[in-house]
Amino acid sequence: MREETYTSTEKSYLAGESIQDAQFRAMNEEYEASDTPQGAWNKLPYWDREERPGDFEVYEFLTTTQVTRVSPPYTRSSK
């Protein structure tokens, strides 16, 4: 039986006050990740970007998804 596997890797950037803050922003739909570090910086609210720039850093998120078909043995439901 041949194995079927799909793997994808996505790189995105988010700005935050810390790694934990950037992770929170990544999980919150209110914040949108960017394809570039500059884009992530530009997506900060004006006040944070212009008045408190020393409080924020840009973080790179690398997300890898791997899906593999699982071969039996597993139980199929009986009808």
Mean per-residue pLDDT for 60-70?
93
pLDDT at residue 1, rounded to an integer:
53
Higher pLDDT, 58 or 72: 58
Which helix (H) or strand (E) element contains residue 22?
A: helix 19-27
pLDDT of 5-23, one tens digit each? 999 999 999 999 999 999 9
Q: Which residues, including other chains, have CB under 8 Å from residue 45's CB and lie 6 or more apart? A: none
pLDDT at residue 72, rounded to an integer:
76
pLDDT of 26-60, one tens digit each? 999 889 999 999 999 999 999 999 999 999 999 99
Smallest Cα–Cα separation from 41: which of 18, 59, 62? 59
